[in-house]
Amino acid sequence: MWKNFNHIAHMKDRVGHLCVCVLIEMCRYPLGMTGGQIQDEDISASSHWSESTAARFGRLDFDNGDGDGAWCPDIMSEADGLKEYLQVDLRSLHFITLVGTQGRHADGMGNEFAQRYRIKYSRDGSSWVGWHDRKGRQIIEGNSNAYDVVLKDLEPPIIARFVRFMPVTDHSMIVCMRVELYGCEWLDGLMSYSIPDGHQMIYRGLDVFFNDSVYDGASAERLTKGLGQLTDGTWGLDDFLHSHSYNFWPGYDYVGWNNRSFPRGYVEMIFEFDHVRNFSSMKVHCNNMFSRGVRMFRQVTCYFRSGSEWEADPVTFRPAVDRVSQSARFITVPLGDRTASTIKCRFHFSDLWMLFSEVAFQSGKKKEKKKKRKAKIGCSLWDDPTHKVDDSNTRILIGCLVAIIAILLAIIVIILWRQVWQKIFLSPPNASVSCLKEISEHLWRSATATRPMLRLFFSKKESSTSCRAFAAGGSDGAPHYAEADIISLQESSDSSTYSITAVNMNFFAGTDSSMREFPRHKLTFKEKLGEGQFGEVHLCEAEGMQDFLGEDLSIEGNNESPLLVAVKTLREDANKNARNDFLKEIRIMSRLRDPNIVRLLAVCVDTDPLCMITEYMENGDLNQFLCNLRLKAADEDEIKQEETEGKSMVSYTTLIGMAVQIASGMKYLSSLNFVHRDLATRNCLVGKKYTIKIADFGMSRNLYRGDYYRIQGRAVLPIRWMSWESILLGKFTMASDVWAFGVTLWEILTLCKEQPYSQLSDEQVIENTGEFFREQGKQVYLPKPPCCPDRIYKDLMLSCWRRNAKQRPSFQEIHSQLLESLA
Ligand code: ADP
């Protein structure tokens, strides 16, 4: 289905502000210490305590039995103990937003960790900069035990190739570290910019500072050899007196200059790149608050240099003058595919002040080098569709890259699922836990190996997902989000810190109840029930099914013969990934047995097409079902209404009864440590008498494709149901299922009349997720449904969306609370 999905929304300047925030929040991929993409030879250290604690063991959570599982410096050899470092070479520039550290436990034998550390970084390997936060603090609070991973946001983020972790110690203990870096590749290629430092404005007695406060180069008359606020990914607001989320001085987000200090009427900026590139455009984020004497530039002239001389013919661009809107905006300056490694631009004032908050370039490497740059082009954070049209070579290359990545993904998925089959399902049950741990590591590695795609592809808007009609399904073999590993979050009181510990998933270790093959010829087609990710779902009569199931397995209270069943068939043209996913769903479902989980009765897998036979749920999926109902007012007579108006009316009590059943099914899943990852009304089925059963263990649906959000090459995500940590960190836990339950409960109580956060676009939903993470009171919650009592909203629904995963209720608690509310 996704193959036909060509309604791709590109980022536009208009929504730019939003997009960059999204991208920074999405730019949090582990860069390969844990997953192994960073090679041993790229990890070095100033010293090590012993061979078994050498630099190469400094990989976060990489305690594999070789060595003691961490890097430990030979602190004693250092006079001040502050010069020891563990160095990671990322091989190319990266935008690093987060770091993680862990101590050394050496299977219980060790108890060494770094309580505090500093970070130094370098783009060229020779000049090093000490990182400090926006308030100038260099020391980062690290670990307090040898086990937990402590993550720290780097604010401001770092653009670097080399990063050094430098433990800070008072010599009272031996220090050991395991580390990971999180971020994404920095494809701009900008190594440094040189500008005159910003000025100070006095606005109505208020001091407004427009200096580049995070610049990491040298500052004399001009700022040189560094990067700073113009590349920190934070765009200024319309009103320059206010800044984003930091409590800083007025003007903080902008670098700005006063016309009076520039007799020639322009500000000159020089941009140095990693190598010669072809530049298609430059984007400059400008303030335009002309009522306060600030306007975007009138004209810019850019000069290009590939060797030692500036080329004679500059490019000049004059943006259209805007005398109406005072909004800050990105201005795209076409650079005509000029080749250069250095660009000098002169920005001419059109008013007293000129304020910039971000500058970015769109480029490819020089043409003759195209073959070598395969893995890097086309992934700019600053995509500009208008210039893409001219760049046909780049488009062809991007197409090829996408195809290569799709093929690689398909291969990875096949290999991984083959391992899943062999290691979990063909080996004895008690071997499964360790196999799973290993496989989850593989999965994580593969997810991070395919990470460089950062341009976001937004879901098709017109397929509204509230009360929608059926649409044809399909499978594109894209990996789905369920491939992230499973961990639990343990939060600390510091809002920017959280630690992670691995959780055993022992669900698969239970007894194997292999599914029996049902004779295909005994199935008689009655009607089509729907269409899903794998193919069609049919209502069939199954002759002799009751005998086939036997007394023990028969469907309670259903003695009809022939029995009506739902038969889900894998479409014949399904690729191997879809086939494996289908078999996976069979395997999972065959092991689940609960009144509120859809039951798999039998399978037909000896020949194609593969089929799974499940109990028939007369009323289809819960989303469609509720959508066709109306809420009965509290004072209406329940029995009378149900008799007269049949299914068109439903009472609040019945709705809560449905939620109770879902909570009960989830309670069962959580007792098995099983994380569903896609709980939503669309994935619950309705039988007779409002019986609800949880279904869809394939974790991905195309029917409700508007409910899913896709990041190219990475995931199909039901973002509106996902917890912040699932979206930002890829962590799926029981607590993230609880979050999804909160959304599902909200859907139920609004009778699925609208999609969650329907007023927010996909990008805004992700931005809101960032607000949940930052927890500065700006996060938006789903509103209280009109029929929802205050206490259910406050004590239950909102508690499912608590930032701290540990503070969310368990399904056991949710179940009892809902039951009590009915009493
Ligand atoms: P997907 O593969 O996208 O997860 P399914 O194949 O499970 O979706 O189901 C597609 C649709 O078929 C559902 O939305 C539902 O309406 C219908 N359906 C699926 N299973 C059953 C069932 N056991 N009883 C009744 N209807 C079903």
Query: pLDDT tens-digit profile of 71-118?
Result: 988 765 444 556 889 999 999 999 999 999 988 877 667 778 899 999
Q: What is the distance of C-alpha 355 from the center of its chain?
A: 32
Separation CA 734–CA 730 (nearest Å): 13
> Which string of b and e fits 475-504 if b means at least 16 CB within 10 Å?
bbbbbbbbbbbbbbbebeeeebebbbeeee
Give distance in angstroms: CA of 250 to centre of ligand 1. Answer: 55
Same domain, 157 and 240: no
Q: Which atom of ligand 1 is nearest to the CA of 537?
A: 12
pLDDT value for 393:
56
Same domain, 195 and 148: no
Residue 758 lies in a domain: yes
The two beta strands, 200-203 and 190-196, are unpaired
Average of pLDDT values for 244-259? 84
Residue 393 lies in a domain: no
Alpha helices in 545-685 (DSSP H): 545-553, 576-590, 622-627, 638-645, 652-671
pLDDT value for 366:
61
pLDDT value for 174:
76
Which residue range forms the structural domain that includes residue 277? Answer: 190-365
Domain count, the chain: 3
**474 pLDDT higher than 60:** no
pLDDT value for 519:
93
Check if 608 is active-site.
no
Same domain, 693 and 734: yes
Same domain, 710 and 654: yes
Average of pLDDT values for 517-522? 92
Domain boundary residue, one of 185, 215, 250: 185
pLDDT band at 428 (very low <50, low <70, confident <90, very high): very low
Q: Which residues does ligand 1 sit against, CB inside 6 Å?
A: 473, 529-534, 537, 566, 568, 598, 614, 616-617, 620-621, 685, 695-696, 698, 701, 703
Same domain, 106 and 207: no
CATH code for the domain of 361: 2.60.120.1190
pLDDT value for 419:
65
Residue 158 lies in a domain: yes
Q: Under a CB-based contact definition with an 8 Å cutoff, are residues 191 and 274 in contact?
A: yes
Tell me the three state secondary structure of residue 649.
strand
What percent of the chain shows pLDDT beyond 70?
A: 73
Same domain, 312 and 267: yes
Separation CA 746–CA 753 (nearest Å): 11
Pocket test for ligand 1, best of 618, 621, 622 (most atoms within 8 A of CB): 621
Residue 398 lies in a domain: no
The number of C-alpha atoms within 13 Å of 418 and in the hemisphere containing its C-beta is 7
Name the helix (H) or strand (E) containing 403.
Answer: helix 392-420
Average of pLDDT values for 641-665? 81
Q: Which atom of ligand 1 is nearest to the CA of 700?
A: 4
Same domain, 181 and 224: no
Give distance in angstroms: CA of 607 to centre of ligand 1. Answer: 22
- Bridge partners (DSSP) of residue 564 are 541
The two beta strands, 611-615 and 563-569, are antiparallel
What is the CB neighbour count within 10 angstroms for residue 61?
Answer: 19
What is the CB neighbour count within 10 angstroms for residue 740?
Answer: 24
pTM of the model: 0.47
Atom 26 in ligand 1: residue holding the nearest Cα: 620
Separation CA 118–CA 138 (nearest Å): 6
Residue 805 lies in a domain: yes
**CA proximity to 336, closest of 396, 265, 409, 281:** 281
pLDDT digits (tens, 9 = 90+) for 699-749: 533 334 455 554 444 446 789 999 998 888 878 889 999 999 999 999 999
pLDDT band at 403 (very low <50, low <70, confident <90, very high): confident
What percent of the chain shows pLDDT beyond 90?
A: 45
Same domain, 701 and 798: yes
Give distance in angstroms: CA of 537 to centre of ligand 1. Answer: 6
Same domain, 181 and 197: no
Separation CA 165–CA 84 (nearest Å): 8
DSSP 660-701: HHHHHHHHHHHHTT---S--SGGGEEE-GGG-EEE---S---
Same domain, 194 and 80: no
HEC profile of 440-459: HHHHHHHHHHCCCCCCEECC
Residue 243 lies in a domain: yes
Give distance in angstroms: CA of 530 to centre of ligand 1. Answer: 6
CATH code for the domain of 101: 2.60.120.260
Average of pLDDT values for 214-226? 91
pLDDT value for 27:
80
Same domain, 618 and 589: yes
Q: Under a CB-based contact definition with an 8 Å cutoff, are residues 186 and 100 in contact?
A: no
The amino acid at 620: G
**564 pLDDT higher than 60:** yes
Atom 23 in ligand 1: residue holding the nearest Cα: 616
Average of pLDDT values for 547-559? 64
